[in-house]
Amino acid sequence: MGEFELIRNYFAAAPCAQLGEGVALGIGDDCALLSVAAGEQLAISTDTLVAGVHFPDACDPFLLGQRALGVSASDLAAMGASPLAFTLALTLPEVSAAWLEAFARGLNEMAQGCSMRLIGGDTTRGPLSLTVTVFGSVPIGLAMTRSGAKPGDLLCVGGPLGDGAGALPLVLNQRSAEASTTQALLARYWSPQPQLELGMALRGKATSSLDISDGLLADCGHIATASGVGLRIERDKVPMSDALRAFFDADEALNAALSGGDDYRLAFTLPASCLAELVEAGWPVFVIGQVVDGRGVVLIDEQGRDVTPLTRGYQHFRETR
Ligand code: ADP
Ligand code: MG
């Protein structure tokens, strides 16, 4: 199978690659063309997944397809952008029809779930890696950045944390558990559900936002730095799923929720006056702490004692200072 046949069969023909709102020209030309409504800005983010680093070499291609797009779309959710389209740069060690078919199905499933269209990409030979670039639109002035948190705001997250990190020993076949626990954790790892609707609902309300990919403490550190504020997280308010609590002992579960990566839930700051309306409307908003004067992220116990752990999250390159 040649490069163009591969693109045609598995990507251009996929339901998610057909034209739709906002996509004036899709796969097949030198560029795709996106139409952005007047008064809107384009939100763009790119993520690379490398075999052996971000996923095991021999993983299920269907799940990989889902995950590759899910983690990227999560960045659109963090900004409050409405999802539009994505491109896929795929590097493959060899062409396997079965692998491509399953991968494209997984990708398509996530794309349909997120209302995103595949508009182009690149296909090359080499060690397995995937780069997904996502495009969304957001009304001018309403994108939620990391830099607007104000002392007095509440610090919130969009759901239980730690399941992605909890799934890792299962993904790596290092541990086993009851079927219901295994299923719940693996589902969060392999098909992270980007909180796109929540992101859009927070427009004009949240003062800062990001999606948690490297662990709660590490990612909240980015909000603290960008906003020039401190964050106090109350340890006992950090939400965790029943599956995580069943799988791990209390310390391991807390550690996964605080420092494990792969959550893809939103963390955001909110003026207290915005809370009731969001909760009443049924949005998943879990208050875990406050924005304070100062800098950095501090974890406190029920007595208000500083219990901040030393290790905070995953980094590909360690800071040298
Ligand atoms: P060019 O050489 O002009 O960059 P390519 O030959 O790489 O174009 O790709 C041909 C068309 O197929 C382009 O529209 C490109 O965006 C698209 N494409 C290539 N690889 C993929 C892929 N993996 N998924 C989706 N579209 C792809
Ligand atoms: Mg090319």
Q: Which of 90-99, 139-148, 158-167, 303-312 has the lowest mean pLDDT?
A: 303-312
Taking residues 279-287, report their average pLDDT.
Answer: 98
Q: Which of 52-56, 99-103, 115-119, 312-316 has the lowest mean pLDDT?
A: 312-316
Indicate the top mutation candidate among 33, 72, 103, 123 to test ligand 1's pocket, ranked by most ligand atoms within 8 A of CB: 123
pLDDT value at residue 314: 57
Q: Which long-range contacts link 19-22 to residues 24+ away (Cβ below 8 Å)?
A: 19/117, 20/117, 22/84, 22/85, 22/137
Distance between CA atoms of 200 and 83, rounded to whole angstroms?
A: 10
pLDDT interval class at 80 (50, 70, 90): very high
Distance between CA atoms of 46 and 23, rounded to whole angstroms?
A: 19
Say which amino acid occupies 261. Answer: G
| Alpha carbon of 36 to ligand 1 centroid (Å) | 22
**pLDDT tens, position by position, 169-203:** 998 889 989 999 999 999 999 889 999 999 999 99
Model confidence at 231: pLDDT above 60: yes
Taking residues 4-27, report their average pLDDT.
Answer: 93
Q: 297 or 321, which is more confident?
A: 297
Model confidence at 321: pLDDT above 90: no
Q: What share of the chain in percent tops pLDDT 70?
A: 97
**pLDDT tens, position by position, 19-55:** 988 999 999 999 999 999 999 999 999 999 999 999 9
Q: Into which CATH architecture does domain 3-139 fall?
A: 2-Layer Sandwich (3.30)
pLDDT value at residue 316: 58
Q: Residue written as tokens 């029920």?
A: 302
Q: Using a 6 Å cutoff on CB, does residue 122 contact ligand 1?
A: yes
Q: Using a 6 Å cutoff on CB, does residue 9 contact ligand 1?
A: no
Q: Which of 1-10, 69-78, 225-234 has the lowest mean pLDDT?
A: 1-10
Residue nearest atom 13 of ligand 1, based on CA coordinates: 28
Distance between CA atoms of 301 and 235, rounded to whole angstroms?
A: 5
Range list of β-strands (E), 81-128: 82-92, 117-125
Model confidence at 317: pLDDT above 70: no
Assigned CATH class of 154-300? alpha beta
Distance between CA atoms of 58 and 85, rounded to whole angstroms?
A: 28
pLDDT value at residue 3: 86
DSSP 8-class letter at 16? G
DSSP 8-class letter at 153? P
pLDDT value at residue 57: 86
pLDDT value at residue 41: 97
pLDDT value at residue 58: 87
DSSP 8-class letter at 125? E
**pLDDT tens, position by position, 110-141:** 999 999 999 999 999 999 999 999 999 999 99
Domain boundaries, the chain: 3-139, 154-300
Taking residues 231-256, report their average pLDDT.
Answer: 96
Strand partners, 286: 157
Q: Using a 6 Å cutoff on CB, does residue 30 contact ligand 1?
A: yes
Q: What share of the chain in percent tops pLDDT 90?
A: 88
Q: Using a 6 Å cutoff on CB, does residue 111 contact ligand 1?
A: no
pLDDT interval class at 2 (50, 70, 90): confident
Distance between CA atoms of 97 and 76, rounded to whole angstroms?
A: 31
Taking residues 212-221, report their average pLDDT.
Answer: 96
3-state secondary structure of 311: coil
